[in-house]
Structure 1
């Protein structure tokens, strides 16, 4: 389930959104907005992960485990 939200958007944004719905890109306004927000959440998570990897460098604490597992993989 979810929570109901009331939002004010500029007329130009609503018109654009309504065209997306009319073209069949989304079932309704809420579905389109939800999909857009979920994409933004994934994008920000990916940015955070990329920053973490840049700061940590290419090696992490699982590299040794991966090498050990690969060496013992059944052939």
Structure 2
């Protein structure tokens, strides 16, 4: 399911989005905005996880988990 929303963006961002669509780097404005929001969400999740691991201190038992997590594409985490 998807929901339509209205957002205001600075002219230079709209120009960038339109150029990306024109050049075929994104199928639509909405697709590029959704991709950018998804990327931000994944980055924030990774930052949160890094903070949790840092607070727990160095732990050799987590090395295998970190290696596995580094090999999993971020898109598969949603």
Whether TM exceeds 0.5 here: the answer is: yes
- Deviation of 1:12 (Å): 1.2
- RMSD over equivalenced CA pairs, Å: 1.6
Any unmatched runs of 5+ in structure 1? 67-75
1:18-37 pair list within 5 angstroms: 18-37=18-37
Greater CA radius of gyration, 1 or 2?
1
The whole-number CA distance in structure 1 between the counterparts of 2:56 and 2:21 is 43
Indicate whether 1:8 and 2:8 are aligned. yes
Any unmatched runs of 5+ in structure 2? 65-78
Alignment correspondent of 2:39: 39
In terms of fraction of residues, the more helix-rich structure is 2
Output the TM-score relative to the length of structure 2.
Answer: 0.73
The whole-number CA distance in structure 1 between the counterparts of 2:46 and 2:10 is 29
Q: Which runs of 4+ in 1 moved over 2 A?
A: none
Output the TM-score relative to the length of structure 1.
Answer: 0.75
The whole-number CA distance in structure 2 between the counterparts of 1:50 and 1:23 is 36
Task: Point out which structure has higher relative CO (alpha carbons under 8 A, 6+ apart).
Answer: 2
> How many pairs align?
62
